[in-house]
């Protein structure tokens, strides 16, 4: 059993990554690239967090029945109740739904505030964003949202990681760079596909031997029906 790895970039990238045990990902706003792949109960349905549309998200979840999807980011604690209700709707169609806490007022309170039916998602810090909620607050299985592969792996030493999505290496590959297991650098041979393949192989290597937490093991075998909150 290992951490689930998702990538969402293009048909070519997904096709290559699947050969190395990765799973397809897509934003709910663009399902084109995953229509030719097995997605139901396998894929990751991401969101457009800057311009979120719950109705479109639910429609896409109902169409694709993903393994995991992400609820709207909790940027203000006072929107949490509404977001949890939205997440409950998504859980009808997705095996797992993750809540993304970002408000510093949620520090140390995630167990109290977020129902156990949901995973947590940690927004890995990048120049595009992150979270102000402390790492220590993430006390249940976590999906790591974006960021550098080395940063994700370092965070995993402090968290119960269930899954990751990683697209960063696809951007570097366009410029002849790849992830060597420690950092991004110029590929000695070059070529877009070679950069993709070597990055994926090296990301897999740094996760090899990662100790899956018992809470994550238990979660990986839970069905959508078992996760659904009681009504």
Q: Residues 120-140: pLDDT tens digits?
A: 999 998 776 678 899 999 999
Residue 144 lies in a domain: yes
Q: What is the β-pairing status of strands 68-70 and 96-99?
A: parallel
Instruction: Calculate mean pLDDT across residues 30-59.
Output: 92
pTM of the model: 0.92
Give yes or no for residue 228 having a pLDDT over 60: no
The CATH number assigned to the domain holding 121 equals: 3.20.20.70
User: Exposure of 75 by Cβ count < 10 A (0-12 exposed, 13-18 middle, 19+ buried)?
Assistant: middle
Residue 230 lies in a domain: no
Residue 156 lies in a domain: yes
Helix orientation angle between 192-207 and 11-18, rounded to the nearest 10 degrees: 40
Q: What is the pLDDT of residue 153?
A: 98
Residue 228 lies in a domain: no
Residue 145 lies in a domain: yes
Domain interval for residue 81: 4-221
Tell me how many domains the chain contains.
1
Residue 231 lies in a domain: no
CA–CA distance from 43 to each of 28, 53, 69, 175 (Å)? 12, 20, 9, 28
Q: What is the pLDDT of residue 23?
A: 97
- Matching residue, tokens 């896409």: 60
Residue 57 lies in a domain: yes
User: Exposure of 214 by Cβ count < 10 A (0-12 exposed, 13-18 middle, 19+ buried)?
Assistant: exposed
Closest CA to 34 of 65, 1, 72: 65
The string of pLDDT tens digits covering residues 129-182 is 678 899 999 999 999 999 999 999 999 999 999 999 999 999 999 999 999 999
Q: What is d(CA 154, CA 201) in angstroms, rounded to the nearest whole number?
A: 18
* Cβ(132)–Cβ(102) below 8 Å: yes
């Amino acid at each position: 059993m290992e951490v689930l790895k998702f990538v969402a970039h293009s048909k070519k990238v997904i096709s290559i990554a699947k050969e190395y045990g990765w799973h397809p990902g897509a934003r709910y706003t663009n399902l084109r690239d995953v229509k030719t792949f097995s997605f139901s109960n396998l894929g990751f349905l991401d969101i457009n967090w800057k311009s979120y549309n719950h109705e479109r998200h639910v429609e896409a979840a109902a169409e694709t029945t993903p393994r995991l999807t992400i609820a709207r980011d909790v940027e203000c604690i006072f929107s949490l109740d509404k977001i949890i209700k939205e997440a409950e709707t998504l859980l009808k169609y997705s095996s797992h739904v993750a809540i993304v806490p970002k408000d510093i007022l949620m520090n140390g309170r995630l167990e109290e505030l977020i129902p156990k039916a949901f995973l947590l998602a940690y927004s890995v810090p990048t120049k595009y964003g992150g979270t102000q909620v402390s790492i220590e607050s993430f006390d249940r299985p976590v999906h790591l949202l974006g960021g550098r592969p080395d940063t994700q792996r370092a965070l995993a030493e402090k968290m119960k990681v269930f899954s990751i999505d990683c697209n960063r290496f696809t951007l570097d590959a366009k410029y002849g760079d790849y992830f060597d297991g420690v950092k991004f650098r110029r590929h000695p041979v070059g070529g877009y596909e070679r950069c993709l393949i070597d990055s994926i192989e090296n990301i897999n290597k740094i996760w090899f031997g990662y100790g899956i937490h018992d809470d994550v093991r238990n979660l990986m075998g839970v069905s959508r029906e078992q996760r659904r909150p009681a009504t």
